[in-house]
Amino acid sequence: MQTKAAQVSRTRTGAPAHPELFQPIRVGNCAIKNRIAMAPMNVLFSMDNRGYTNEQITAYYAARAQGGAGLIITECVLGTRLASRFPYTSNLHLFNGTHVPGLEDMVETIHAFGAKTFIQLSIGFGRQGHSHDHEAPPAPSAVPYETNPAMMPPKMLKSIEKHPGFFNPKLPTMAQAQIPREMTREEIKGEIEEFGHSSVLAVLAGFDGIELHAPHGYLEHQFLSPRSNKRTDEYGGSLENRMRFVIEIYDKVREMIGRSVPVGIRLSGDEHMPDGIHHEELKVVVRTLGERGIDYVHLSSGSYEATKYFFPETDGTMLEEAAGFKSVLPAHIPVITPSIHDPAMAAQAIRGGKTDLISLGRQLLIDPEWANKVRAGEKFRKCTRCCECLLRTVVGLPVRCLHNRNLGREKYMPEYQRPTRPKGQMILPQLGGGRARVANSTKALPIDRTFTSSTGLAHE
């Protein structure tokens, strides 16, 4: 029996409202059906902190795929063993083979609902990390971050006033920084090497692309920023040195997987902090990555020290920075810009050439059907940007939404269970030949997933 959601989606045919949002686009070698992406968000649904997927995470992504987003970008997935020791509470992991089956199941589910999916692969939280064992998190330099209420979203502050315990020093929330330690050169090299191997596992799990996690104050951002990077070796000082970590990560991933899937990066358009990295320097980083063949750039802004910039209270706050990045990139490299909830403004931004895709975070928490409803010209639930979802993660709780009671309980909803695979068909990853095969009872058809590697996985 068809679910109500499936029946509704089949009736939404004809010319879409805001057609710019529903044009297909290619990102590298990946074809995406529209210009709407789900932004990566750490929603803490893995909960047990062992890094594995579960029914709730899978159903949560399925809901947004069924809701019409052309691209699902996962929460940040920790790609090294060292990184996995310093999440705030819980994140998915991908650095050994035991993580692959659950992620592959999640990918298959997203695909079954009609979306492509990129993994946001992270090399760590750096000074924004927290350890349950009270270890000092590894960072470029021993510089902790500072929590300044003036740099928080005003609505978030109003909620904090109702819950003053968030800033109680005895409560280990994300508002409380731990003193980091400076990473050694050997650690840096080892982390980059392990991260490269994790990118191979991402291809094995079936992801359509990889997004390098370098925005709003995480480890890669910290190396870029003179505010957090006080090193005197080849990873600190000049911009050329400060960007070395990011460039070496990108180069290692390309060495390991070649052009099998798109590789992009998420970067803040500006740190918005004194002595931080600002837009003009970040344009140099983006230009350098564009020259090296990056497949896309995804905007963010600010950091944990400046949360009001990456949780903005109005639409379109990052569009000028997006335009700045586009100005230094080849025309074929798309830019993704978040936090434009108004479909008319989003369509105008694409039509005006300021961005190529939009990504939605909190808007898809309150209404996973945003894309389908916008296409059909229907009313959608608009995010109030109250930040209640964010505040739950600050204290280590999985997200909820004041206006979407189903957020966090998608696993109980039958419409988000993966459809049955066609009878007689199964996927056979054929690593030895460098090409996966889709097998059924009569024949095997190659699919376009080739990759290079130095780990014994063949390449074409």
Query: If we measure between CA atoms, which residue out of 217, 218, 245 comes closest to residue 231?
Result: 245
261 within 8 A of 203, measured Cβ to Cβ? yes
The SS3 assignment for 318 reads coil
- Helices and strands: H and E segment counts in the chain: 16, 15
- CB of 245 closer than 8 Å to CB of 221: no
- For residue 188, the surrounding DSSP H or E stretch is helix 185-204
| CA 291, chain centre distance (Å) | 23
Residue that is written with structure tokens 């992991």 in the block = 93
Strand-pair category, 437-439 with 444-446: antiparallel
Closest CA to 23 of 379, 264, 368, 347: 347
Choose the catalytic residue: 60, 218, 304, 309: 218
Contact (Cβ atoms closer than 8 angstroms) between residue 187 and residue 344: no
Whose tokens are 């056979």? That residue is 428
| Cα gap 444→441, rounded to integer Å | 9
Do the beta carbons of residue 94 and residue 121 sit within 8 Å? yes
Q: Which two tokens stand for residue 318?
A: 């990052």
Tell me the C-alpha distance between 340 and 212, whole Å.
22
CA distance 377 to 374: 5
Q: Is 218 a catalytic residue?
A: yes
Q: In sequence order, what are the beta bridge partners of 211? A: 120, 264
Give the residues across from 25 on adjacent strands. 32
Residues classed as catalytic:
218
